[in-house]
Structure 1
Amino acid sequence: MKNKVKEILRIRGMRGAITAFVGLVIIYVVFGCINDKVFSLQNNLNLLRSMAKYLLIGIGQSFVMITGNIDLSIGSVVGMSAMVTASLMTRGVPIVVALLVSLLIGLIIGYVNGELVGKFQMPPFIATLGTMFVARGIAYLVNGNRNTDNIASILGKDQGKFFQDAFYYGKILGIYTTFWIAFLIFLIFTFILGKTKLGRHIYAVGSNKEASRLSGVDIVSVIKKTYLISAFCSVIVGFILCAQAGMGNMEAGNMYEMYGVAAGVIGGVSPLGGSGLLLGTFQGALLWQTLENGLNMVGAQVGIQRIVIGVIVVLAVLMDVLVRSGNVFSKKNKQ
């Protein structure tokens, strides 16, 4: 039994996932004791629905971070997706066509990111900063520098309701469809990261690029695929925000790239590359949403919420740096 536990703890990123889970339970219980409405069924359903978008962008950012890179274009791709989708639908384009066009444009941004970072070896901060502005510019231009009209007013009440229920307001087995969409994507990408050659190569690239290259890993291809995954997840979040609002908002997804980083690092995904589990990202997204939800329930100001979450992110990254450098409890060890 003891050996089995040790074996589980040796899994890359498992310690971070467990730590996030323990923190999640503590935060949930503490806020629940302060305000028992935290434990209510409707609050928990809303919590899962709100957490879903953080989980999705966390998945995309986690894939990129495990290779030792970052994607700053996530939030802008979310906004672009919402605006392109809504703009097309308010022009009478069928829902499925609008979704596919939006997905294609998002994947093009992801492909460009992969080319710049992988093939041309541009610093990921600079490359994705550039595409961040491009994607946000498209979000502004696609409907003439204004938010779109209500989708239902053009498509009709039934079609508008169908789209909104599919991505936000509908329920399956009593739980909002938003959560089921995110959970299905989570399961698929967890399998890819943990059980496929691509997953092994992603960890290898993040651990040591030169060793991976000498081992025959196509580093450029691996990096491209992680940025495509990131773009795909961002586009889905754009659909969710579009369905939630019933229209396209040019500022949708603002700062979401940082939310993706937070969900990942809180759950133990290393921003330095080579380590992390999507299970941890799931816990990190849920912990963050629980913290945000709890602070709202007790009436904390938005500024306080941001400070608390920012401190947690910094501490999570600091712990990762200390563990990697071997400086944790170094004074105690020297004694």
Structure 2
Amino acid sequence: MNSKQQNPLKKILAIRGMGAALTAFVGLVIIYIAFGLINPAVFSGQNILNLLRSMSKYLLIGIAQSYVLITGNIDLSIGSMVGMSAMIAATLMTGGMSPILAILIALLSCLVIGIINGYLVGKFKLPPFIATLGTMFVARGIAYMVNGNRNTDAIATGVGKETADKFQNFFYYGKTIGVYNTFWLAIIVFIIFFFVLSKTRTGRHIYAIGSNVDAAKLSGVNVVATTIKTYLISAVCSCLVGLILCAQAGMGNMEAGNMYEMYGVAAGVIGGVSPLGGTGILLGTLAGSAVWQTLENGLNMIGAQVGIQRVVIGVIVVVAVLLDVVVRSGQFGKRKNK
């Protein structure tokens, strides 16, 4: 009877990356309560809403980077695609183009970068660090050039205040059921890509490539196509964050998304996504993005300097990766002993 009751729990814990994800969630609760005890304003309803909205950007970027990390690769162009998306959409809207068409063009531009990344890494075997470093500069260069090396005017100057308000409310300022739309957008994207990664053949292929690319090939996995898919997913999420930042500011900023590729790595790694590939789940990325934003929010609420915030988060990222390396080393040691 007892063994039957334990089976479901064992199955859950046996899922790759579930242990790390649960650990991140426990850490999240502890961190949040600790900051709340220091400053009760952390528990306020408005702060929780703001935290969820801010966390959403990290969640989307985390999803983008997690997909790529699980294959054993990395995407350094994420932050630049965020800036490119924001600048293209804002520039087109200040020129009078409808937001829907501007969004589609921004998305198409990011998808092109994603396809290039996928082919360079999957087809031509370029090291992902080098390939995406190159496209990082290309995308950021486009962000600068698209409006003549300057930030855009307010999007309301081109599409009118009413249309601009609709765009900004949809992506940032508006609420549905009392919660900011940014959060709902991120959760919808999370559910879709969580399903893809955990329940589809594409998801199984992604894990297979990250675990052992040669074995994946022998098993019939199309490594090139799967790699391209991960970079396309990264591009979609990056574009959405660019649109969120554009809506937040009401204009395009050439530096939007700066360092976001590293934020994505942090969100994934804190949640147990291994930078060595083959391990991690998006539940962990959700927890990791929440931990990141809770730390940032809590440290800010207690008056900690920005430098201290970065040091704390940096240490946590290093410790998370170190634990992953130690655990993997232990697993390899056990296999050898056997």
Class of the TM-score when normalised by the shorter of the 2 chains? over 0.9
The aligned residue for residue 320 of structure 1 is 324
The aligned residue for residue 37 of structure 1 is 41
Q: CA RMSD in A?
A: 1.4
The aligned residue for residue 96 of structure 1 is 100
1:219 aligned to which of 219, 223, 242: 223
Give me the whole-angstrom Cα distance separating, in 1, the residues matched to 2:325 and 2:51. 31
Say if 1:322 and 1:328, in contact at 8 Å, map to a contact too. no
Q: Do structure 1's residue 266 and structure 2's residue 270 form an aligned pair? A: yes
Structure 1 gaps, min length 5:
331-335
Give me the whole-angstrom Cα distance separating, in 1, the residues matched to 2:8 and 2:194. 21
Give me the whole-angstrom Cα distance separating, in 1, the residues matched to 2:293 and 2:160. 34
Structure 2 gaps, min length 5:
none
Q: Do structure 1's residue 61 and structure 2's residue 71 form an aligned pair? A: no
The aligned residue for residue 230 of structure 1 is 234
Q: Do structure 1's residue 84 and structure 2's residue 88 form an aligned pair? A: yes
Give me the whole-angstrom Cα distance separating, in 1, the residues matched to 2:158 and 2:193. 36
The aligned residue for residue 48 of structure 1 is 52
- TM-superposed CA distance for 1:7, in Å, is 1.7
The aligned residue for residue 23 of structure 1 is 27
Is the partner of 1:326 in helix, strand or coil? helix
Is the partner of 2:251 in helix, strand or coil? coil
Say if 1:117 and 1:127, in contact at 8 Å, map to a contact too. yes
Report 1:1-335 matches (<5 A): 1-326=5-330
Give me the whole-angstrom Cα distance separating, in 2, the residues matched to 1:254 and 1:102. 17
Say if 1:66 and 1:273, in contact at 8 Å, map to a contact too. yes
Deviations along 1:74-126, one digit per CA (max 9) or x if unpaired, are 00000000000000000011111100000000000000000000000000000
Is the partner of 1:63 in helix, strand or coil? helix
The aligned residue for residue 333 of structure 1 is none
- TM-superposed CA distance for 1:5, in Å, is 1.8
Deviations along 1:38-87, one digit per CA (max 9) or x if unpaired, are 00000000000000000001001000000000000000000000000000
Is the partner of 1:69 in helix, strand or coil? coil
- TM-superposed CA distance for 1:329, in Å, is 12
Deviations along 1:274-332, one digit per CA (max 9) or x if unpaired, are 010000000000111001000000000000000000000000000000000118999xx
- TM-superposed CA distance for 1:163, in Å, is 0.4
Give me the whole-angstrom Cα distance separating, in 2, the residues matched to 1:154 and 1:136. 24
- TM-superposed CA distance for 1:4, in Å, is 2.3
Give me the whole-angstrom Cα distance separating, in 2, the residues matched to 1:97 and 1:328. 51
- TM-superposed CA distance for 1:232, in Å, is 0.5
Give me the whole-angstrom Cα distance separating, in 2, the residues matched to 1:95 and 1:155. 8
Deviations along 1:136-172, one digit per CA (max 9) or x if unpaired, are 0000000000000001122111011000001000000
Say if 1:64 and 1:70, in contact at 8 Å, map to a contact too. yes
Identity of aligned residues (%): 70
Please say which of residues 5-14 and 300-309 is displaced more in the overlay.
5-14
Please say which of residues 298-307 and 151-160 is displaced more in the overlay.
151-160
Is the partner of 1:313 in helix, strand or coil? helix
Letter of the structure 2 residue corresponding to residue 318 of structure 1: L
Compute the TM-score of the two structures, normalised by the length of structure 2: 0.96
Compute the TM-score of the two structures, normalised by the length of structure 1: 0.97
Is the partner of 1:217 in helix, strand or coil? coil
Say if 2:97 and 2:158, in contact at 8 Å, map to a contact too. no
Letter of the structure 2 residue corresponding to residue 251 of structure 1: E
Q: Provide the aligned length of Structure 1 versus Structure 2.
A: 331
Give me the whole-angstrom Cα distance separating, in 2, the residues matched to 1:327 and 1:211. 19
